[in-house]
Amino acid sequence: MFRKAVITLVTLLPCSAMLASAQTAEEPAVFTKSDSISLVQMKKKTSAWDRLHVGGYGEVAFSRNFYSDNYLRYSDPGKYKGSHGRFDLPHVVVYLGYDFGKGWSLSSEIEFEHGGAESAVEIETEEAGEYESEIERGGEVALEQFYLQKVFFPQLKLRAGMQVVPVGGTNAHHEPNQFFGVYRPEGENTIMPCTWHEISVSLSGRAGNWSYMAMFLPGLDSERFGNQSWIHDGSASPFEFKIANNYAFAGRIDNYSVKGLRLGLSGYVGNSFRNTLYPTDSDKNKGIHGRVSIASFDFKYENFGLLARGSFDWGHLSDAAHISKFNISMSKNSTSKRQEVASDAIAAGIEAGYNIFAPMQKMKQSGQKFYVFGRYDYYDPMAKMESGTSLKWCKRSKISAGFNWMPISQIIVKGDYSYSILDKKYNNEPSINIGIAYVGWFK
């Protein structure tokens, strides 16, 4: 009965760290340790120190890419081949939580992406090859989550503040122990914000084998949409505040009826045009909404040494032709990418791995796991155009194979060989990636 109570509580709250000491194989990664123990141990916690929880996760990655990183590699693929290497810290996260008692708690997550501030200089993959300074979100570090929560009962929790938007498999399950590759699944990470977080209000809960979340949040900013990334950058704001001229709704439902299996449906709908400080009140913009609609399915199955995950995402942007024209006409000094954006985008991925230590009783008792896996991704951020021509190099399939070794539950050593298959006009993009990550609670 105690175990059942703990599992029920763990599955109720979304946050950033799916940490090994507070989960079972069936539990979604968006829930936190402080939520899992806040009610069970509330009466035992008498000091402020005991009510404080500290944890996090981090990734170190080493890659050798056997293709050119020249900005002209797609406009003149016959000339630019070569290879290049990269060392990176994709995500380093510190989680802080506090249990105030009587059902009230605070959760926060500070994230350092690529080991630095959220600004970067990029060379645009266009004919001009211009250097561009891109601000992904105002501030030097990303406060990915910061919310207050009130637990009324297991079926109803109210949360307000900065939260992860649980649309898609990767956003809801983005910690390094929730995917096999060294890097997060490429398809969802390309067409949608990842990890998508917004200042919002949500209701969540679990009843029996069902859990849910319903969220009210500000709309995306169509000024920041692009060709290769579709709406990916639309959640970010270069200002000290998030513009909320438009509003949106997001939701998620998960089912756990079958042992070891989780099935999830999630979606998003909201207008994106006029969610900017740039003037949009001229007559030619009347009736333009830029409604973004996303539908997503994802699953996870873990049993008998087998671990499989997958997702499928479809998205639609209304008035895409008008938004493309509007963005292209903007000043070079604006935050807009000034690119054409598609009306439809698609992403799908599936991975499966087997723990070769599962039949070995000694290794099983030690808690070690060693998965060998394969993964397939397909995505196209320009699947359908209202106007203009899609860039064929944006559409690709990706095949990956590798291993995940967990010497202890909090540490994952990863390696994979990936092969991106592009349109025959372009060079394919193979790579070798090695990484090490941790997911754990310090207190």
Q: What confidence tens digit (pLDDT) does each residue in 139-154 have?
A: 467 888 999 999 999 8
The predicted-structure confidence for 35-48, as pLDDT tens digits, reads as follows: 444 444 444 556 88
CB 90 within 8 A of CB 59: yes
Q: How confident is the model at residue 9 (pLDDT cuts 50, 70, 90)?
A: very low
288-314: average pLDDT: 97
The closest of 293, 88, 77, 311 to 186, measured between CA atoms, is 311
Residue 19, in any domain of the structure: yes
Residue-wise burial string across 196-209, b where 16 or more C-beta atoms lie within 10 A, e elsewhere? bbbebebbbbbeee
> Which amino acid is it at 171?
N
Residue 6 has pLDDT above 60, yes or no: no
In this structure, is residue 336 part of a structural domain?
A: yes
Residue 53 domain flag: no
Looking up tokens 């025959």 gives 424
pLDDT on residue 7: 37
Residue 294 lies in a domain: yes
Q: Alpha-carbon distance 404 to 414, whole Å?
A: 5
Instruction: Decide if 263 is inside a domain.
Output: yes
Name the pLDDT band for 292 (thresholds 50, 70, 90).
very high
Give the per-residue pLDDT at 120. Answer: 62
In this model, does residue 79 exceed pLDDT 50? Answer: yes
Q: What is the total count of domains within the chain?
A: 1
Which pLDDT band holds residue 115 (cuts at 50, 70, 90)?
A: confident
| Tens of pLDDT, residues 167-206 | 999 999 999 999 999 999 999 999 999 999 999 999 999 9
Residue 127 has pLDDT above 80, yes or no: no
Tokens read off for 335: 């935050």
Pairing of strands 197-207, 131-135: unpaired
HEC string for the chain: CHHHHHHHHHCCCCCCCCCHHHCCCCCCCCCCHHHHHCCCCHHHCCCHHHHEEEEEEEEEEEEEECCCCCCCCCCCCCCCCCCEEEEECCEEEEEEEEEEECCEEEEEEEEEECCECCEEEEECCCCCCCEEEEECCCCCCEEEEEEEEEEEECCEEEEEEEEECCCCHHHHCCCHHHCCCCCCCHHHHHHCCCCCEEEEEEEEEEECCEEEEEEEEECCCHHHCECCCECHHHHCCCCCCCCCCCEEEEEEEEECCCCCEEEEEEEEEEECCCCCCCCCCCHHHCCCCCEEEEEEEEEEEEECCEEEEEEEEEEEECCHHHHHHHHHCCCCCCCCCCCCCCCEEEEEEEEEEEECCCCCHHHHHHCCEEEEEEEEEEEEEEEECCCCCCCHHHCEEEEEEEEEEECCCCEEEEEEEEEEECCCCCCCEEEEEEEEEEEEECC
Of 17-31, 122-136, 366-380, the one with minimum mean pLDDT is: 17-31
Burial class (CB in 10 A: 0-12, 13-18, 19+), 418: buried
Q: Which domain holds residue 301?
A: 2-43+163-441
The pTM is what? Answer: 0.85
- The residue with greater pLDDT, 390 or 124, is 390
Residue 318: band (very low, low, confident or very high) from pLDDT cuts 50, 70, 90: very high
Alpha-carbon gap, residue 370 to 412, rounded angstroms: 9
For the cut 60, the answer to whether the pLDDT of residue 27 exceeds it is no
Query: What does the pLDDT average to over 24-28?
Result: 40
> Is the pLDDT higher at 83 or at 138?
83
Encode 129-146: b = buried (16+ Cβ within 10 Å), e = exposed. Answer: eeeeebbbbeeeebebbb
Q: How far apart are the first and last CA of the chain?
A: 25
pLDDT of residue 114: 82
Name the most confidently modeled range: 111-120, 125-134, 158-167. Answer: 158-167
pLDDT for 26 equals 41
pLDDT at 442 over 70: yes
Q: What is the pLDDT of residue 401?
A: 98
Please indicate, yes or no, if residue 417 is contained in any of the structural domains.
yes
Percent of the chain clearing pLDDT 70 (strictly above): 84
Of residues 280 and 136, more confidently modeled: 280
Q: Is the pLDDT of residue 356 over 80?
A: yes
Token reading at 271? 């207008």
Q: pLDDT at position 189, please?
A: 94
| Residues of the chain above pLDDT 90, percent | 70
Q: What pLDDT is attached to residue 84?
A: 95
**Can you give the CATH number for the domain in which 387 is found?**
2.40.160
pLDDT, tens digit (0-9, with 9 covering 90-100), for 391-424: 999 999 999 999 999 999 999 999 999 999 999 9
How do beta strands 291-303 and 142-153 pair?
unpaired
Residue 354 and residue 358: Cα distance in Å, rounded?
Answer: 8
pLDDT of residue 306: 97
Query: Is 134 within a domain?
Result: no
CA dihedral 176, 51, 4, 164 (to 10 degrees): -40
pLDDT of residue 128: 62
Contacts of 255 (CB under 8 A, 6+ apart): 209, 210, 262, 263, 264
209, part of any domain: yes
Confidence class for position 20, pLDDT limits 50, 70, 90 = very low
Task: Please state, rounded to an integer, the average pLDDT across all residues of the chain.
Answer: 87
Amino acid occupying residue 439: V
Q: CA quadruple 68, 74, 77, 80: dihedral positive or negative?
A: negative
